[in-house]
């Protein structure tokens, strides 16, 4: 079985936030997960893309069915996945996988159509895989091209302009509940990019009392300085939540930081005065049952998605233009990727031919030698020329195959004729 580009994952289209948070891989765990998976059967190279909207395993798989089983085993060991949950995962290969990667990187498969953040997330995922040693010539080639395609799509179309983002959606929802936001007090829990963007929009909408808290106080102080806000202590979390009109929570905590019981107590102390809680974390920071408490209006990523979709209708023309660019680039790159797939076979073939010629020259020297230095060099040059001609001819046939199926047949035939299986198996994980 020849190597295959594949994507196994789930996203906001195939699963709710409740499912996505189950399989979100903590940043601190990703490097170890990459190294564990790259040692698994069927997987030659791997990148993990984990955001609030998706968890995807981007694979260069020597044996795709076996690689998929390895991913399933990993999810079973780490997250006790059920077969019903496995149904939320899509499994894409070859052209479909390539187009998907290009679409994701270009912001065409995002909750916020054309969002710029995904490009940085892709770069970070690729860099982590390179650092962990789990990506090589094939995925590096794909990711480099994906970023080039993304740049072209954003430069040549309006896909990235005026995107209605998740942070901006928090302003719309806050206005629906509280009316005008002038003079409202905002508490940011977590000092990440999502909190910063939400704060910018809320301040622009009139909120002028912004407080920032984070488990790491230095990060809270840094973001507060950028926003002209006030850093506050995470240890006094409940006190500051009680005082806020709008709470935006975006931490990387693996468990909720605000329980229903705590929120119930806060609502009572506020005499059920309306407040908005925006939970943009995955896994969620605020227990979902909080939305049932009188006076507290809780919105999570699923709610924000609905706002974003309502505002995305006018961006379809730009999206259509970007889709054409992605399709054309994927079609053009397909041939290069097909050619790259056979490089290990060509390298193994050249080595095999060199070994055969060297063996025959050794026999010739023993039977008819010794030869003069000029004679020996002439024979070596002749065998090298023959090797180049044969390997070059076969390489052109393998790389020039227009379809994968035809290429697979030719590659398998070359492997059997020249007994390359052992060499290729040994190179599979290198």
Q: Which residues are catalytic?
A: 52
Please report the beta strands in 201-259, taking only residues with DSSP state E, as ranges in sequence order. 209-213, 230-231, 246-249
Chain CA centroid to CA 201, Å: 27
Chain CA centroid to CA 17, Å: 17
Which helix (H) or strand (E) segment holds residue 90: the answer is: strand 90-93
Return the structure tokens found at 281: 């974390």
CA distances from 407 to 11, 345, 359 (A): 33, 11, 30
Q: What are phi and psi of 309, to 5 degrees?
A: -65, -40
Angle subtended at Cα 245 by Cα 243 and Cα 250, rounded to the nearest 5 degrees: 95
Cβ-based neighbours of 134, under 8 Å, separated by 6 or more:
34, 35, 37, 38, 45, 46, 47
Return the structure tokens found at 249: 């929570």
CA distances from 393 to 70, 390, 420 (A): 37, 5, 17
Q: How many CB atoms lie within 10 A of CB 282?
A: 24
Q: Say how far apart CA 368 and CA 363 lie, in whole Å.
A: 9
Please report the beta strands in 133-233, taking only residues with DSSP state E, as ranges in sequence order. 185-189, 209-213, 230-231
b/e map 235-266, b = 16+ CB within 10 Å: eebeebbbebbbbbbbbeeeebbbebebbbeb
Q: How far from each other are the two terminal CA atoms of the chain, in whole angstroms?
A: 17
Cβ-based neighbours of 382, under 8 Å, separated by 6 or more:
none
Taking a C-beta distance cutoff of 8 angstroms, is the pair 269, 240 a contact?
A: no
Q: The tokens 């040994």 sit on which residue?
A: 426
Return the structure tokens found at 374: 């000029």
């Amino acid at each position: 079985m020849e190597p295959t580009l594949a994507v196994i994952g789930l996203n906001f289209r195939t699963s709710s936030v409740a499912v996505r948070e189950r399989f979100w891989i903590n940043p601190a765990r990703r490097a170890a997960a990459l190294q564990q998976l790259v040692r698994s059967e069927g997987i030659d190279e791997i990148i993990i893309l984990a955001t609030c909207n998706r968890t995807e395993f981007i694979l260069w798989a020597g044996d795709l069915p076996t690689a998929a089983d390895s991913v399933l085993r990993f999810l079973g060991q780490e997250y006790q996945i059920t077969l019903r949950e496995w149904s939320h995962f899509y499994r894409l290969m070859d052209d479909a996988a390539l187009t998907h990667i290009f679409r994701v990187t270009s912001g065409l498969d995002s909750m916020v159509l054309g969002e710029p953040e995904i490009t940085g997330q892709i770069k970070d995922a690729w860099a982590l895989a390179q650092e962990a040693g789990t990506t090589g010539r094939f995925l590096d080639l794909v990711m480099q091209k994906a970023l080039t395609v993304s740049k072209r799509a954003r430069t040549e179309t309006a896909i990235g302009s005026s995107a209605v983002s998740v942070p901006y959606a928090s302003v719309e929802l806050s206005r629906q509940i509280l009316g005008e936001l002038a003079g409202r007090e905002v508490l940011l829990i977590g000092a990440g990019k999502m909190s910063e963007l939400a704060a910018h929009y809320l301040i622009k909408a009139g909120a002028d009392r912004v407080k920032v808290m984070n488990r790491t106080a230095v990060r809270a102080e840094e973001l507060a300085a950028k926003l002209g806000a006030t850093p506050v202590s995470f240890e006094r979390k409940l006190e500051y939540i009680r005082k806020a009109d709008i709470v935006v929570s975006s931490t990387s905590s693996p468990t909720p930081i605000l329980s229903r019981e705590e929120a119930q107590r806060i609502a009572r102390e506020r005499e059920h005065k309306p407040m908005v809680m925006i939970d943009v974390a995955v896994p969620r920071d605020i227990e979902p049952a909080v939305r049932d408490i009188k006076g507290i209006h809780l919105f999570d990523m699923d709610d924000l998605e609905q706002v974003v979709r309502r505002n995305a209708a006018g961006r379809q023309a730009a999206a259509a233009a970007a889709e054409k660019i992605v399709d054309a680039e994927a079609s053009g790159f397909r041939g290069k990727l097909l050619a790259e797939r056979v490089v290990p076979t060509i390298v193994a073939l050249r080595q095999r031919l060199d070994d055969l010629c060297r063996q025959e020259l050794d026999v010739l020297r023993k039977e008819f030698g010794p030869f003069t230095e000029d004679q020996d060099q002439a024979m070596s040059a002749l065998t090298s020329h023959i090797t180049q001609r044969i390997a070059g001819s076969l390489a052109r046939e393998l790389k020039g195959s227009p379809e994968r199926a035809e290429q697979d047949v030719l590659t398998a035939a070359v492997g059997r004729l020249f007994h390359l299986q052992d060499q290729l198996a040994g190179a599979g994980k290198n």
